[in-house]
Amino acid sequence: MDISFTPVLNSVLFSAIGFAILLLAYFVIEKITPENTWKEIVQKNNTAVAIVFAAFIIGISMIISAAIHG
C-alpha cells in the first residue's frame, strides 16, 4: 500500500502561506487607514467599518485562493 502525503503537505503549506498573506494584507490596510479599525469595530461598534473589512477579507481570500489554484 503506497500512501503519498505530498498532497496533504501541499495543502497545509499553501493554507499557511495564504493565511500569512491575508494577515500581511490586513496589517498593511490597518497602517494606511487613518483610524484604528479594530478599535472602531470592537469598541465603537461601527457596523459600516465591520462590513467594509469583511468584504476586504473575503476579496483578498478569493484572490489568494485563485493564485494558489492557478
Q: What is the pLDDT of residue 47?
A: 94
DSSP assignment of 22-59: HHHHHHHHHHHSSS-HHHHHHTS--HHHHHHHHHHHHH
Distance between CA atoms of 48 and 4, rounded to whole angstroms? 47
Q: What is the pLDDT of residue 66?
A: 86
- 10-residue averages of pLDDT along the chain (70 residues): 79 87 89 87 92 91 81
Distance between CA atoms of 26 and 42, rounded to whole angstroms? 16
What is the reported pTM?
Answer: 0.74
